[in-house]
């Protein structure tokens, strides 16, 4: 499942559920149950660049490699990470990962 996704390019496991729960401060049991649906919501809420940054950063890829991939400097990378994690904590994004919102994306 999700074998050809951006996430799996950088992560060997589909562990985005635990990471989303951590960053969004939501219990894992409150998240959308199906990983595929949850990943689709994640893709809908983040830009391709943000999703790739999230996948790379979560895979503990070095900042140097990330900067090379995105062709940016230290300040731009720091700012991009700040915006990404701030976006994940916003209610309008965070609450879309909850199981009660699955009807909107199914």
Question: What pLDDT score was predicted for residue 37?
Answer: 92
Report CA torsion sign: 86, 25, 30, 36: positive
pLDDT of 21 over the 60 cut: yes
Question: What pLDDT score was predicted for residue 46?
Answer: 95
User: Which residues touch 40 (CB under 8 Å, ≥6 apart)?
Assistant: 105
Spell out the domain ranges in the chain. 15-105
pLDDT digits (tens, 9 = 90+) for 40-85: 999 999 999 999 999 999 999 999 999 999 999 999 999 999 999 9
Highest mean pLDDT out of 12-16, 44-48, 97-101: 44-48
């Amino acid at each position: 499942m999700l074998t050809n996704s951006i996430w799996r390019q950088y992560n060997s496991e589909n562990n985005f559920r635990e990471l989303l729960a951590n960053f969004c401060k939501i219990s894992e049991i409150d998240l959308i149950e199906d990983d595929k649906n949850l990943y689709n919501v994640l893709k809908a809420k983040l830009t391709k660049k943000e999703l790739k940054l999230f996948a790379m950063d979560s895979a503990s890829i070095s900042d140097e490699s990330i900067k090379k991939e995105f062709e940016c400097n230290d300040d731009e990378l720091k700012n991009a990470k700040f915006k990404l994690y701030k976006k994940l904590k916003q209610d309008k994004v965070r609450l879309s990962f909850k199981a009660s919102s699955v009807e909107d994306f199914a």
